[in-house]
Amino acid sequence: MTRSLREVVFVDGVRTPFGKAGPKGIYAETRADDLVVRVIRELLRRNPALPADRVDEVAIAATTQIGDQGLTLGRTAALLAGLPTSVPGYSIDRMCAGAMTAVTTTASGIAFGAYDVAIAGGVEHMGRHPMGEGVDPNPRILSEKIVDPSALVMGSTAENLHDRFPHLTKERADAFALASQQKYAAAVAEGKIGPELVPVATRSAEHGWGMATVDEPPRPGTTLEQLGTLKTPFRPHGHVTAGNAAGLNDGATGCLLAAEDVAEELGLNVGMRLVGYGYVGVEPEVMGVGPVPSTERALARTGLTIEDIGLFELNEAFAVQVLAFLDHFGIADDDARVNPWGGAIAVGHPLASSGVRLMTQLSRQFAERPDVRYGLTAMCVGLGMGATVIWENPNWEGAAK
């Protein structure tokens, strides 16, 4: 029996507005699974040509799979969203790359022929479930020095990256962070960020019902002077601050994936086409370097080079890890191809959800940029990993008509 792989396309992506974690955040009294439900329903609402029973799988990621982020979230959220009981679902965890892994895993199933259509996404309610809640690390991890103790504190791993690459100064990190805030603010003002957002009804016992319609974390008035005065909580006289790192956030993302022929059959949008991907492991204590080898792997396996990539959506967990990536590939800190609408330093990083935010933004950028053929989404991953996915623009002006 011979098999041929099918082309897989990203049809559409949406997300909730991202909130600040904690008792004063917009989602303080909103359940994590309800955020996912809102995302799934919105995907179906925006794509009425897709019959609900044509969805073959729902994969939802969460880093802290406990409480309202537990109980096989992909299945329970699918049921709560009103999908037919015939639609299965599952949960997935690769820390920050959870949603990205949900996409590549279901996409691989589509390419193989096991599915026609899938929903993939992620959620993190860091206010309800701080990173590491309820975990019980095997004592051998530290007692046998399998990893350095700093590997379990993400901010410390970023400080370690500054140590390894001393030319990546705090001043460069702060300048990159400021640019992220400025690019995000410009994208909102120009209407580039906003159409993908799903309004979410929020509840507060003190204030009653509200509606989340915009991202809560951005600080548009940020200045370099302000960034220079912030504390370095992970090390005295360190480099990493609340200003040049993503915050603690709540939010959910989701996307529709399909075989390209099925998308054409159903009249669904083709936002971008999957080219390939790569995941790698690196030293956990410098996890921020992960996107470098994962990108090298993805490029090698697709036969592309870094010069072929016209747009980069890099998750800004910490400014230093993006700078390490840019330096390795010879890309300027202010290269216009990189995070043109800002990044996680401005908008936030609800861990397992962020991969699909990157993809959704890249897909929307592709629609505006027929001069660009390939784009890349990449992120560092806790416990020492990197993740990269390469996409092709179906609107590329050089494509055969």
pLDDT tier at 401, thresholds 50, 70, 90: low
Q: Which CATH class is domain 148-193+275-392?
A: alpha beta
**In the predicted model, what is the mean pLDDT of residues 371-388?**
97
User: How far, in Å, CA of 96 to CA of 173, rounded?
Assistant: 21
Domain boundaries, the chain: 148-193+275-392
Instruction: Write out pLDDT tens, residues 129-165.
Output: 998 899 898 999 889 989 999 999 999 999 999 999 9
Q: Are strands 208-212 and 117-125 parallel, antiparallel or unpaired?
A: unpaired
Is residue 315 within 8 Å of 354, Cβ to Cβ? Answer: yes
Nearest to 124 by CA among 350, 385, 395: 350
User: How far, in Å, CA of 249 to CA of 360, rounded?
Assistant: 18
Which stretches within 215-310 are classed as H helix? Answer: 224-228, 260-266, 291-302
Nearest to 230 by CA among 293, 177, 284, 291: 177
> What pLDDT is stored for residue 400 in this prediction?
61
Instruction: Write out pLDDT tens, residues 301-358.
Output: 999 999 999 999 999 999 999 999 999 999 999 999 999 999 999 999 999 999 999 9
> What pLDDT is stored for residue 183 in this prediction?
98
Which amino acid is it at 212? A
Percent of the chain with pLDDT over 70: 99
- Which of the residues are catalytic? 96, 349, 380
